[in-house]
Every structure is written in structure tokens, then in C-alpha cells.
Amino acid sequence: MSLRGALLSFRIQRFESTVVVFAALLSVAVSAVVITLFYGGGYASCFGNDQPVLSSLCQSTPAEWLPRIARLSLALVPIFPVIGGLLAGGPIVARELETGTARLAWSLGPSRLRWFAQRVVPIFLMFLVACFAIGVVADSLLHLVQPTVAIDGSFVGYRARGLLIPTLGLVVASIALAIGALTGRTVPTIILTLMLFGGLIAAADTVEKKVLLGEAVVGGDFQYSENNLWLDSKFLMPDGRVMSWDEVIAEHPEFNEFGWDESSGIQPVALYIPGARYHDVERREAAALLAIALAFGCLATVAVLRRRPR
């Protein structure tokens, strides 16, 4: 694949590439400014303590607005992989089929695989770089907004920062690519991709929760911190069994009427994954999502190789 081919790929998808790159650059620039002003201006000292600091610096407009901008930017981060993935992956094959340019490209180029690689690789690389940048930005902004959170050892902002941003982006883009290659229409591609991605995330959530429950730490409320990933609240019986409230009731129907008795020796506990395992869990989920993206990538390739141009 040549540089000329890659550049033409961006030209063909100029609008989408511009939007993705512009959004990423804007996000990086705004965050850089906010972070520089925040730490450089000494506003960081206003936060992270238990008591509010009542200096004039901490009551100035920037002290109020910088974290507000940071929070807003953070709230927008999870949207990026979805919208960006649709923009990057959706049109590649769908629009070429819809406008008929696939006919030209597939009759000029004997190897559809070469055409496909030339179209997909540059766009996906660009999108992944943009996602990585957004992921890093989200980490830094989270640190700014919640200084007490250990970025590398906390589930706060899970799936909305770091490595999972590019991975989720890749999943959306691959699904859009595959559906685009199958349907050959842009609008249905967007709708179906959103539906499929939603379903997939819900399913992944269920499976992941099952897996994590098997690995969960059982701890009293006091051991629980915001850095952990809370999974479920249960009850620890005096004999060591961990039960749900329904199971407890089944054994002690009287609790249902009179409420639960401290003297019974039953303790409320939380099932959670300690924050220290953040990267571990994150990487495992990233690997699973990568496999899903790969599957859709293969589906897209097969569709491109086998289908007829419209």
C-alpha cells in the first residue's frame, strides 16, 4: 500500500476524516489549556482537601470554570468512539457501493483485498490515534477533576478513559465497516451499527459481570473505596456463607417482618474488584473487544470479496 493510496483514502473520506481529526485536536488542545492553567495557576491546591479552601484564588472564576470545562469534556469522551467509529468505518464500503464508485475501483483493481486495505488501514489508523489521544486526555482530566483518584489503580471512569477508548472505537468502526459492506447503504449502516453495538455492550457487560463475580473480593463496607469496582451487595453469614437478601429471608423469615438484627452476626458485605486490578481487568476487556472487532473485520473482508457492486 502506497502513501499516495493512503492520502487518496483520506481525500475520498475527507469530511469524516476532518471531523474526527478536528474533534480529537480540539479535545487535546482544550484539555492542554485547561490542565496548564489549572496546575500553572495553582488552582490544584484548592481541591483534593476535605475542607473547601476559602482563599480569593480558590473563589475566582477560573477556579470554578476550569474544573467545569474539564467535567464537560470528560462527559463527552464516551461519545467519541461511537460517533467517530460510525464516521470512520461506516462510509468506507457502504458509500462506495451506494454511489457506485466501488464499480470503478473494483474494475480498475484486480485485487479487492488491496483496494480494501488501501481504504481501511489509513482511516482506521487515523481514528485509532485520535482515540488514543482522547483516552490519554480523559485520564488527565479525571485526575484534574478527582485528584484523590489513583488513575492507574481505580475503576473510576471505567470504559471512559485510557485503553478502552480506542478499543471501543475499533469495535464500533469494525461493526460499521462490516454492516456497510453487507448492506451497501449508509443510513441503515448507522442505525444497525448503533443497535448492534448497544446489544453487544449489554451482552459483554453481562458476561463480564459473571466472570468478575467469580473473582470478586468480599469485604465489609469499611473496606470499600470509590476506586474499587462494585459488583453486588450481599450478606456474610456467621458460618462464612455469602448470601443475597432473598436467600437470607428464606432462611430467616422473621427478618422480613421485624427487620434485620445486628446481633444475628450477619454482616452486609460488598462484592468488588479492588482498584489495584484496574489495568488487569481493562486489558482483559480490551483483548475481548479486540477479538470482536477482528471478527467483524473478517466479516467485512469476506463481504467485500464475495459481493457484487450495486
Partner 1 sequence: MTAVLEAHGFGKRYRRRTWALRGVELVVPEGSITALVGPNGSGKSTLIRSWIGFERATEGRLSTGGVDPQRDRKAAVERVGYVPQTPSLYRDLSVAEHITLAGTLRDGFDEAMAARYVGRLSIPLRAKAGELSGGEGAQVGLALALATRAPILLLDEPLASLDPLARREFLHLMVEAVRAAGATALLSSHVITDIEQACDRLIVLGKGHTLLDLPIAEAIAHHRIVEGPPAEAVRLAGADALIGSFPAPAGEPLSLVRTPALVPVGTEPIGRAATLEEIVIAHLAAGRRRAADAARQAEGVAA
Q: How many residues does the chain have?
A: 310
Residues 12-31: x where in contact with partner 1 by CB under 8 A, - otherwise, as a string: x-x-----------------
Candidate segments 1-9, 57-65, 75-83, 291-299, binder of partner 1 by CB under 8 A: 1-9
In the block, residue with C-alpha cell 473494483? 106
Nearer to partner 1, 9 or 27 (CB): 9
- By CB under 8 A, tell whether 48 contacts partner 1: no
Smallest gap from residue 157 Cβ to partner 1 (A): 38
Question: Which position among 28, 105, 218, 281 is part of the footprint of partner 1 (CB under 8 A)?
Answer: 105
Rg (CA), the chain: 25
∠ CA 200-204-205 to the nearest 5 degrees?
A: 115
75-104 mask for partner 1 (x: CB under 8 A)?
------------------------xxxxxx
C-alpha grid cell, residue 197: 453495538
* 210 is a contact residue toward partner 1 (CB under 8 A): no
Contacts of 300 (CB under 8 A, 6+ apart): 93, 116, 120, 174, 177, 178, 180, 181
149: region left, alpha or beta (phi > 0 left; psi from -120 to 50 alpha) = beta
Q: For residues 304 and 93, is the Cβ–Cβ distance under 8 A? A: yes
The stretch among 67-75, 85-93, 107-115, 196-204 that binds partner 1 (CB under 8 A) is 107-115
- The binding site for partner 1 (CB under 8 A) comprises 2, 4-5, 8, 11-12, 14, 99-111, 114-115, 118, 308-309
